[in-house]
Amino acid sequence: MSTTLRFDGWAIPRTQFLLPLAFYTPLGRLWQYRERPPYGVKNERVRAWIERELRHRKVSRAGSSVIGVGHLREHDRLIRHVRRNLGSVQCPNVLALHAQQDEVASVANLGILARGLRCRAFRAVVVANSYHMITIDNDRQQVVSETVSFVDAVAHGTMPEHPLYA
């Protein structure tokens, strides 16, 4: 869900190419990422809830208000490792859910995943009315429905025998 193999969404700053300076030099001790609206959520009611929680605490039930350079560096290292090793992953069936308007990672991340994985059936579902956190946003019902349908198809052996990118 919302697989991020490249930070290329519409809210990613153009200065992102400078992040390795923060990740891998002492400059990183002077910088941290502050979460800001839309907080990965298109639904205004849920976004207001996250804002209220972040006003009173450093960490909401939806995430942290500040992400340190150490966490971002580890995420960068994980992305590099996963991308380098996608071809080694063997799985019969994959369901990938992603938001069309994801502010963190574009839908192109689905293509990276589909081309890299070695699987018999790859089902990609793009939801239309959410941002990055699709499990709590406007399309959460569709996310649940698609997930249950996928698990049901796997359990009953009704997955297609050929790759599917839809």
Query: What are the helix (H) ranges across the chain?
Result: 19-24, 44-56, 69-85, 108-116, 140-155
Other C-beta atoms closer than 10 Å to the C-beta of 112 total 16
Tokens 């995943």: give the residue: 113
Q: Which two tokens stand for residue 53?
A: 């929680």
Among 96, 147, 152, CA closest to 126? 96
Cα(157)–Cα(120) distance, integer angstroms:
12
The domain segmentation of the chain, as residue ranges, is 14-78, 89-155
pLDDT at 161: 59
Cα(110)–Cα(79) distance, integer angstroms:
14
Walk along the chain (166 residues) and give the pLDDT tens digit of each residue.
999 999 999 998 888 888 888 888 888 888 888 888 999 999 999 999 999 998 888 888 888 888 888 888 999 999 999 999 999 999 999 999 999 999 999 999 999 999 999 998 999 999 999 999 999 999 999 999 999 999 999 999 887 655 554 4
pLDDT at 165: 47
- The separation between CA 6 and the C-alpha centre of its own chain, rounded to angstroms, equals 9
